[in-house]
Amino acid sequence: MKRLFTLTAVAVALGCGCAQAQYTDGTIKIGVMNDMSGTYSDLSGQGSVVAARMAVEDFGAAAKGMKVEIVGADHQNKPDVGSNVVRTWIDVDKVDAIVDVPTSSVALAVNEIVRDKNKVFLVSGAAASDLTGPKCTPNTIHWTYDTWALANGTGKAIVKTGGDTWFFLTADYAFGHALERDTAAVVEKNGGKVIGKVRHPFPGTDFSSFLLQAQASKAKIIGLANAGSDTINSIKQASEFGITQSGQNLAALLAFITDVHALGLKTAQGLIMTEAWYWDLNDANREFAKKFAPQVKGVHPTMVHAGVYSAVMHYLKAVEALKSDGDGKAVVAKMKEMPTDDKLFGKGEVRADGRKIHPMYLFEVKKPAESKAPWDYYKLRATIPADEAFRPMAEGGCPLVKS
Amino acid sequence: MFELFGISSQALFGQLLIGLINGSFYALLSLGLAVIFGMLNIINFAHGAQYMLGAFAAYFLLQYAGLGYWWAIVLAPIVVGITGIIIERLFLQWLYKLDHLYGLLLTFGLALIFEGTFRNFFGSSGLPYSVPPALQGGQNLGFMFLPNYRGWVVVFSLAVCLTTWFVIERTKLGSYLRAATENPALVRAFGINVPRMITLTYGFGVALAALAGVMAAPIYNVSPQMGANLIIVVFAVVVIGGMGSIMGAIVTGFGLGLIEGLTKVFFPEASNTVIFIIMAIVLLIRPAGLFGRSA
């Protein structure tokens, strides 16, 4: 009798197990790691955590019986801090997916760790195109933008309008080097010339010395291969030293709407930048911004925030279809197999090298008179179609792509 | 014009002038630190946060009271100086007899609190503060274009530094201060209110930091991080100059600004570290600092 009871109990338990989804720890845990306190905290920061939560809500995880938990952490733009957080998250806290991670040096370090531990890495904030190039892995998807797309957008547009001599002011770490390399390639391919470059420590405060060198070079375009507060300060100080007044133009190779907000339209007007998403492009984006802003002290979402939303949404869809989240490679393969479709980026796809494909947009910052409301900063100059916006897969050098 | 190591003399003078401008911030801040340490024996780690408070005070004065830069130069140091006095009365006065470490830890904690609070309310990208109209524009000096405001920064810092040095080293008030640091009991016996002098001195050091903050507001971003980045370098400057020496802080501040400016021309990637390399060398050769007096 006792044996029959035990056997029945085991059978029922096994039966129940097969019908349910097997999530590690019973929960799908998503870790949003970025700069919460420094140079990049406004363009990512707490806003990315909010965006992830909004994605979980819109996905309807609770109604589907899926337990999803979002945790956030600050990597302080330091690869060692970021690596420790990710290791602890995966080993101790059973986090299944790491999302966002701006600061390419941190992203490249996390890229390796996530591959070794077979989890999922969805990069929204970082830029280095190496993540889908030589450093690509079957566990990583590069979601929102990369240095190649920026160079292709802003760099090409500026060279074609006559800005054919360039001087680079570069942040001295992985991201700056990648952006400088990709933009220099685009400039030279389109008939321009790079006449000089200078590397500034990251993060920097005073760029007057470097801007002076840029001024002395007499290049028509000073390319700013940096981001966040570095770009803001470079632009402010360039205006102070009369660089823009004396005929040289600044190319903000990576700029976000939060940078324009900090600069003010008077200083930022006329800047040309390439972005993947803007809150005022269509009704769906505006609605998202309306829900997002009150949760982040009125700050409107940047393309990084939108990318986090889109990536988490697609991840949850893939995990739901697979009914499991433990095997990172399998989840990413599923994400590449399923076409993407969300309210912020519309329809798109994830390529074999881990590159998410969608159109990129060339924006120009409005003059103060043209702006009708706070955060109404951009006018659309051009749309770069999805098939032209990103580096062709064959040219990337990604080992996953069979030539 | 001559060429030096491939850099034209024009570019070189331009960089030296930039270095001098940065040096004036180092000098102003290290002066405050040197005054506080020399007189009070407190390592004021909150100096960077107080510099940031000065810049924010200038921003608030403009936003909410409509008072511009020239008002801010006078009012912001006073306001932040008063908060300094409150800190001294509430917290620091209990730590004078203890090891230096306690003062350092307390002020470090205060700095973290200030910076965290402001970052919570204002984000980190910074707030705009424009150059006052009287100082906008610039002069074409031939070898570079010097913004008027930066020229003003050098001149004004130099004036403030030299006035402070003069007051402390050459006037009666300064002599009371110096005596009170060396032998407080004896000075009290003469009827001089030593605790009040110490409180006011701390307030003055903090006011100097706030003044530097107001001057930085138009050219560097008014952001909660602005002090954190600068304070480490300023400490190195004070250590090189000699921890208690006023003239040492001033001379070293300007001098290191120049050296950093030169490094940015010849080897830009090292410009963040050159001051610390010099600090290491100076500590090996003269542990008391270049102008310091060994105890």
Asked whether B52 and B226 are in contact (CB, 8 A), the reply is: yes
Give me the DSSP letters along B158-180: HHHHHHHHHHHHHSHHHHHHHHH
Structural domain contains residue B295 = no
**CA nearest neighbour of A153 among A395, A392, A389:** A389
Q: Give the A:B interface size as CB pairs under 8 Å.
A: 98
> What sign results for the dihedral spanned by CA atoms B116, B119, B120, B121?
positive
CATH assignment of the domain containing B112: 1.10.3470
Query: Is a pLDDT exceeding 80 seen at residue B274?
Result: yes
- The secondary structure of A267-296, three-state, reads HHCCCEEEECCCCCCCHHHHHHHHHHHHHH
Structural domain contains residue B237 = yes
Asked whether B108 and B46 are in contact (CB, 8 A), the reply is: yes
Dist. CA A355–CA A116, nearest whole Å = 20
Number of domains present in the structure of chain B: 1
Dist. CA B99–CA B103, nearest whole Å = 8
Phi, psi angle pair for A6, to nearest 5°: -60, -45
Reading the block at residue A236, the tokens are 């402010």
Confidence of residue B85 (pLDDT cuts 50, 70, 90): very high
Map tokens 């994830």 to a residue: A350
Structural domain contains residue B76 = yes
Q: Which of A38, A233, A240 lies at the smallest CB-CB distance from B221?
A: A233
Q: Which residue of A has its CA nearest to B19?
A: A209
Q: What is the pLDDT along chain A (403 residues), one digit of tens a residue?
A: 667 665 655 555 554 444 456 777 788 999 999 998 878 888 999 999 999 999 999 999 888 888 999 999 999 899 999 999 999 999 999 999 999 999 999 999 999 999 999 999 999 999 999 999 999 999 999 999 999 999 999 998 899 888 889 999 999 999 999 999 999 999 999 999 999 999 998 877 788 888 888 988 889 999 999 998 889 889 988 888 888 777 888 889 999 999 898 888 888 888 888 999 999 999 999 999 999 999 998 899 999 999 999 999 999 999 999 888 889 999 999 999 999 999 999 999 999 999 999 999 999 999 899 999 989 999 998 899 999 999 999 888 899 887 5
B257 and chain A: CB distance < 8 Å anywhere? no
Structural domain contains residue B292 = no
Residue A20: what pLDDT? 55
Residue A248: what pLDDT? 86
Lowest mean pLDDT among A369-373, B124-128, B284-288, B291-295: B291-295
Query: Is a pLDDT exceeding 60 seen at residue B294?
Result: no
Phi, psi angle pair for A22, to nearest 5°: -100, 95
Q: Alpha carbon of B132 to those of A161, B15, B121, B211, B232: distances in Å?
A: 35, 24, 26, 15, 29
Residue A1: what pLDDT? 65
Residue A41: what pLDDT? 85
Dist. CA B161–CA B212, nearest whole Å = 11
Dist. CA A224–CA B143, nearest whole Å = 24
CB atoms within 10 A of CB B169: 13
Q: Which residue of A has its CA nearest to B127?
A: A262
Return the DSSP state at B223: -
CB atoms within 10 A of CB A201: 17
- For residues A71-90, one letter each, b for 16 or more C-beta atoms within 10 angstroms of the residue's C-beta and e for the rest, the string is ebbbbbbbbebbbebbeebb
Using a CB-CB distance cutoff of 8 angstroms, which residues of chain A are in contact with residue B10? 216
Which of A209, A243, A260 would best serve as a mutation to test chain B binding (most B beta carbons within 10 A)?
Answer: A209
Q: What residue numbers bound the domain in which B274 lies?
A: 13-285
Q: Describe chain B by its helix, strand, coil percentages, rounded to 5.
A: 75, 5, 20
Interface list for B 153-192 with A (CB within 8 A): none
- Strand (E) or helix (H) holding A34: strand A28-34
Using a CB-CB distance cutoff of 8 angstroms, which residues of chain B are in contact with residue A264? 128
Q: Which residue of A has its CA nearest to B272?
A: A201
Residue A212 and residue B127: Cβ atoms within 8 Å?
no
Degrees to nearest 5, angle at CA A39 with A33 and A41: 45
Return the DSSP state at B49: H
> What sign results for the dihedral spanned by CA atoms B16, B17, B19, B23?
positive
Map tokens 């040289």 to a residue: A248
**CA nearest neighbour of B150 among B241, B285, B21:** B21
Structural domain contains residue B291 = no
Kindly state the average pLDDT of the residues B224-231. Answer: 85
Residue A109: what pLDDT? 95
- Residues from A in contact with B at Cβ < 8 Å: 37-39, 41-42, 45, 172, 198-201, 203, 205-206, 208-210, 212-213, 215-216, 228-229, 232-233, 236-237, 240-242, 246, 258-259, 261-264, 267, 297, 299
Beta bridge partners of A104: none
Q: Alpha carbon of A91 to those of A86, A139, A366: distances in Å?
A: 8, 17, 48
Which of A205, A232, A245, A299 would best serve as a mutation to test chain B binding (most B beta carbons within 10 A)?
Answer: A205
Residue A13: what pLDDT? 52
Dist. CA A152–CA A165, nearest whole Å = 16
- Strand (E) or helix (H) holding A71: strand A68-74
Dist. CA A288–CA B97, nearest whole Å = 58
> What sign results for the dihedral spanned by CA atoms B5, B10, B16, B19?
negative
What predicted TM-score, i.e. pTM, was given to this entire model?
A: 0.79
Using a CB-CB distance cutoff of 8 angstroms, which residues of chain A are in contact with residue B230? 205
Domains observed in chain A: 26-145+281-354 (3.40.50.2300), 148-275+360-385 (3.40.50.2300)
Q: Which of B15, B219, B221 lies at the smallest CB-CB distance from A212?
A: B15
Using a CB-CB distance cutoff of 8 angstroms, which residues of chain A are in contact with residue B22? 206, 208
Give me the DSSP letters along A295-336: GGTTPPP-HHHHHHHHHHHHHHHHHHHHTB-S-HHHHHHHHH
Structural domain contains residue B2 = no
**CA nearest neighbour of B27 among B213, B252, B214, B217:** B252
Structural domain contains residue B238 = yes
Residue B207: what pLDDT? 95
Q: Alpha carbon of B273 to those of B232, B234, B243, B276: distances in Å?
A: 11, 13, 20, 5
Give the closest-approach CA distance of B198 to chain A in angstroms: 34
Structural domain contains residue B163 = yes
Q: What tens digit of pLDDT does each residue of B145-193 get?
A: 788 888 899 999 999 999 998 998 889 888 888 888 778 788 888 888 8
